[in-house]
């Protein structure tokens, strides 16, 4: 995350664009896969449009299928055409990129693929002076270890002055604590930690990065950001989609592994971390890791799981999870999870963090709601005011990115009557929309060597450690009430009890934010 402070919008237009990427070859393993086509290459195209890539830049796509460079470029062009919304493809930027793309067929498990790659990299170095290499592993998790070992054996991870080697690893990083530890150990035998960029794509979202700026660049929040002033925090990632043809993957994964130790914990860490001494990668990551290490082990009574049945989502009838392709008819895999977490440190002791995520819910929304403690009621004792609405700061991560603060205001009139109102900020009202697939910043940061938005080995392990006892308990105690929520609902009813027993309620799940105070439902 490159930090530039622009004092005014006028300054933004005249500020020179920082071109900090050195001459590089990007080698993508999984060149024919969905991730490359939908995210990595479109993000590169946007970086070209923004003038962020250097003249000496090459892409080598590696995959198992036999195809020519021309065929590969053609398949990427078709994909880009399908996803480019209004204005069509910017031909200049696209041909700038495709001219630099080369395809190489090869089996990721065979050493000869890597010696062939070595020859291509040498060729590029001689022709285009691209001495640095970024290896991007856009492949299934079973290939992470073998590819890195082969890269090491072929001498491709060896760095020298003016020639760095970095490796990007996609999610999932392990499926529990021991597999994550084993994978870290395996790759750290070949690479040093500062060569590894473990992606969590939530950190590519503007609004997630903005949490740090909101907290630490505004003096008004930090004094209130603790157990003295905050009643509780809710983090919601609600999706309307089902498993989208990924039944086989999802059966092995489930909602908790798919979303919690990675995406939701990244949001939690941004919200809960102590102020770092700088925006330096290790300063930020160290504070985030400490926060994750302070999560109390989650006891089963503080965790709810659910699975969707058939129902109606956004006006469309949809089938239940058990009828999705490649899903067992008696599957016990959870598609919904809700947790109550405690953080064991001075700032957060006693403040519950409620997290929930689920598929096929009523609306798509990712948001964080910070509910402040109630104002003392004494002043209003002799007035008709029955209940003071709480102050809630809501950070809307997606869609409709922005934030709002709900406040109490007096209704006009001779009586003291109080109503909730909202101060609202929407990104779209202040900033021009930027074409993004959410990977631009992440790829750019790998290219300039800024690891702030990437997970360190100890961060990943702290996250798995926090959920491990729950994973073990759930594996031993299979649910007997699945499916337990209708597609298109807010999730299983039992999840409401998690908060109701504390005298609280979940925020309503809604996609578009009404310009009105948010209020939790009355428990």
Q: Which residues are catalytic?
A: 263
Closer Cβ to ligand BG6, 125 or 205, answer by number: 205
Interaction between residue 171 and ligand BG6 (CB under 6 A): yes
Contact 159, 194 (CB under 8 A): no
* Binding of residue 367 to ligand BG6 (CB under 6 A): no
CB 171 to ligand BG6: min, Å: 6
**258 is an interface residue for ligand BG6 by CB under 6 A:** yes
* SS3 at position 313: strand
In the complex, the smallest distance separating the C-beta of residue 79 from ligand BG6, rounded to whole angstroms, is: 18
Residues 449-488 within binding reach of ligand BG6 (CB under 6 A): none
**163 contact partners, CB below 8 Å, separation of at least 6:** 131, 132, 133
Q: Are 484 and 307 in contact (CB under 8 A)?
A: yes
For residues 21 and 144, give the distance between their C-alpha atoms in angstroms, rounded to a whole number: 25
Kindly report the length of the chain.
Answer: 523
Question: Crossing angle of helices 144-153/111-128, nearest 10°?
Answer: 60
Tell me which DSSP letter residue 222 carries.
G
Specify the residue, 141 or 274, whose C-beta has the smaller distance to ligand BG6: 141
Give, in degrees to the nearest 5, the angle at Cα 61 between 58 and 64.
165
Least Å from the CB of residue 366 to ligand BG6 = 6
Residue 341 gets which letter from DSSP? E
Contacts (CB under 6 A) with ligand BG6, residues 25-64: none
401 binds ligand BG6 (CB under 6 A): no
Cβ 258 to ligand BG6 shortest distance, Å? 5
Task: In angstroms, give the least distance from the CB of 216 to ligand BG6.
Answer: 24
- Of 349 and 434, nearer to ligand BG6 (C-beta) is 434
**Which phi-psi region, left, alpha or beta, contains residue 203 (left: φ > 0; alpha: ψ -120 to 50)?**
alpha
Pairing of strands 418-426, 402-410: antiparallel
Number of residues that bind ligand BG6 (CB under 6 A): 4
Task: Report in angstroms how near the CB of residue 324 gets to ligand BG6 at its nearest.
Answer: 13
Of 456, 443, 452, 449, the C-alpha closest to 164 is 449
Q: Which is nearer to ligand BG6, 324 or 496 (CB)?
A: 324
Q: Toward ligand BG6, which CB reaches closer, 113 or 362?
A: 362
| Interstrand relation of 392-398 and 365-372 (parallel, antiparallel or unpaired) | antiparallel
Q: Within 68-127, which residues bind ligand BG6 (CB under 6 A)?
A: none
**Looking at 57, 198, 234, 239, which residue binds ligand BG6 (CB under 6 A)?**
239
Calculate Rg over the CA atoms of the chain: 24
Strand blocks (E) in 378-484? 392-398, 402-410, 418-426
Is 38 or 171 the residue whose CB approaches ligand BG6 more closely?
171
- Please list, in sequence order, all residues whose beta carbon lies within 8 angstroms of the beta carbon of residue 75, skipping any fewer than 6 positions away: 32, 37, 67
Q: Is 170 an interacting residue with respect to ligand BG6 (CB under 6 A)?
A: no
Instruction: Enumerate binding residues for ligand BG6 (CB under 6 A).
Output: 171, 239, 258, 366
């Amino acid at each position: 995350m490159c930090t530039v402070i622009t004092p005014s919008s006028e300054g933004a237009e005249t500020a020179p664009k920082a071109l900090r990427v050195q001459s590089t070859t990007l080698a993508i393993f999984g060149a024919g896969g969905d991730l490359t086509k939908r995210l990595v290459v479109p993000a590169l195209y946007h970086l070209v449009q923004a003038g962020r890539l250097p003249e000496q830049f090459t892409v080598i796509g590696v995959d198992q299928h036999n195809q020519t460079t021309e065929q590969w470029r053609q398949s990427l062009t078709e994909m880009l055409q399908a996803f480019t919304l209004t204005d069509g493809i910017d031909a200049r930027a696209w041909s700038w990129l495709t001219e630099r793309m080369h395809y190489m067929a090869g089996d990721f498990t065979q050493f000869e693929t890597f010696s062939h790659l070595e020859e291509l990299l040498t060729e590029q170095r001689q022709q285009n002076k691209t001495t640095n290499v970024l290896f991007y592993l856009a492949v299934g998790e079973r290939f992470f270890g073998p590819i890195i070992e082969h890269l090491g054996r072929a001498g491709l991870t060896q760095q020298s002055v003016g020639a760095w080697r970095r490796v990007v690893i996609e999610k999932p990083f392990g499926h529990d604590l021991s597999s994550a530890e084993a994978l870290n150990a395996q790759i750290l035998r070949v690479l040093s930690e500062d060569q590894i960029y473990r992606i969590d794509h939530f950190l590519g979202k503007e609004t997630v990065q903005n949490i740090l700026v909101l907290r630490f660049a505004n003096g008004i929040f930090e004094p209130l950001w603790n157990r003295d002033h905050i009643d509780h925090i809710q983090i919601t990632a609600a999706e309307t989609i089902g498993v989208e043809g990924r039944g086989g993957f999802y059966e092995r994964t489930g909602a908790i592994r798919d979303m919690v130790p990675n995406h939701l914990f990244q949001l939690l860490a941004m919200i809960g971390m102590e102020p770092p001494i700088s925006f330096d990668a290790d300063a930020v990551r160290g504070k985030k890791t400490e926060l994750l290490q302070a999560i109390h082990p989650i006891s089963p009574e503080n965790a709810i799981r659910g699975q969707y049945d058939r129902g109606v989502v956004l006006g469309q009838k949809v089938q239940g999870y058990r009828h999705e392709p490649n899903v067992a008819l008696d599957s016990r895999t959870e598609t919904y999870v809700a947790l109550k977490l405690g953080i064991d440190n001075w700032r957060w002791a006693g403040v519950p963090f409620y997290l929930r995520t689920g598929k096929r819910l009523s609306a798509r929304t990712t948001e964080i709601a910070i509910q402040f403690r109630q104002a003392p009621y004494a002043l209003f004792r002799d007035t008709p005011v029955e209940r003071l609405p709480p102050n809630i700061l809501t950070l809307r991560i997606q869609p409709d990115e922005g934030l709002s603060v709900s406040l109490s205001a007096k209704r006009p009139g001779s009586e003291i009557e109080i109503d909730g109102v909202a101060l609202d900020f929407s990104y779209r009202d202040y900033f021009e929309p930027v074409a993004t697939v959410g990977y631009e910043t992440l790829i750019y940061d790998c290219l300039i060597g800024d690891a702030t938005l990437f997970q360190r080995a100890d961060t990943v392990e702290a996250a798995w450690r926090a959920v491990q006892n729950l994973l073990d308990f759930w594996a031993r105690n299979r649910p007997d009430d699945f499916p337990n929520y209708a597609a298109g609902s807010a999730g299983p009813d039992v999840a409401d009890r998690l908060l109701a027993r504390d005298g609280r309620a979940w925020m309503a799940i809604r996609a578009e934010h009404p310009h009105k105070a948010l209020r939790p439902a009355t428990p």
